[in-house]
């Protein structure tokens, strides 16, 4: 009476290869995490915000235009006071010249309404002057 086979089966040989599936799964999860977080780490808007307390005095380059705006609305180009038509004419001259556009150093009184400053910036940008620096007093 035989209850089973009499011949012996060979023992299974242990697998000596590394199972790559879990490693690939972990790597793909990390790749997805980095793909999602990488754009969040860099902002598309680059701002170099000035610090009024520790701001070093800026050196005026020869191609810089110094503008001053007083609380009463008077506009100064360097030390010369300009009326709005004369200011517009100077902006047209810069626009006609072409070439490298100068940087604008804007000094506005603390009491000047924001709307006036925004209007001035709009005029400068229409003339092609996009590099505008706001000058402050050291704290």
Choose among 93, 98, 95: nearest CA to 127: 95
Give pLDDT tens digits for 60-82.
455 788 888 888 888 888 888 89
Mean of pLDDT values over 113-136: 89
pLDDT band of residue 33 (cuts 50, 70, 90) is very high
pLDDT at site 109: 84
User: What does the alpha-carbon distance between residue 87 and residue 97 come to, in Å, rounded to a whole number?
Assistant: 16
Mean of pLDDT values over 116-135: 89
Choose among 60, 79, 67, 64: nearest CA to 123: 67
Neighbours of 103 (CB within 10 A): 17
3-state secondary structure 74-136: CEEECCEEECHHHHHHHHHHHHHHCCCCCEEEEEECCCCCHHHHHHHHHHHHHCCCCCEEECC
- Domains in the chain: boundaries: 64-134
List the CATH code of the domain at 64-134.
3.30.420.270
pLDDT band of residue 28 (cuts 50, 70, 90) is very high
Structure tokens at 5: 């086979």
Average predicted confidence (pLDDT) for the chain = 79
Mean of pLDDT values over 21-46: 82
DSSP assignment letter at 71: T
Structure tokens at 46: 């680059």
User: What does the alpha-carbon distance between residue 42 and residue 55 come to, in Å, rounded to a whole number?
Assistant: 25
Choose among 134, 130, 60: nearest CA to 101: 130
């Amino acid at each position: 009476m035989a209850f089973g086979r009499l011949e012996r089966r060979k023992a299974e040989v242990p697998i000596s290869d590394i199972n790559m599936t879990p490693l690939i799964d972990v790597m793909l999860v990390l790749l997805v995490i980095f793909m999602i977080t990488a754009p969040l780490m860099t902002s598309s808007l680059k701002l170099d915000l000035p610090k009024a307390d520790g701001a070093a005095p800026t050196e005026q380059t020869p191609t810089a235009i110094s503008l001053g705006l007083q609380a009463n609305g008077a506009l100064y180009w360097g030390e010369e006071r300009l009326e709005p038509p004369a200011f517009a004419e100077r902006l047209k001259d810069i626009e006609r010249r072409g070439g490298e556009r100068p940087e604008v150093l804007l000094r506005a009184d603390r009491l000047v309404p924001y709307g006036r400053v925004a209007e001035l910036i709009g005029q400068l940008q229409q003339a092609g002057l996009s590099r505008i620096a706001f000058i402050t007093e050291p704290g």
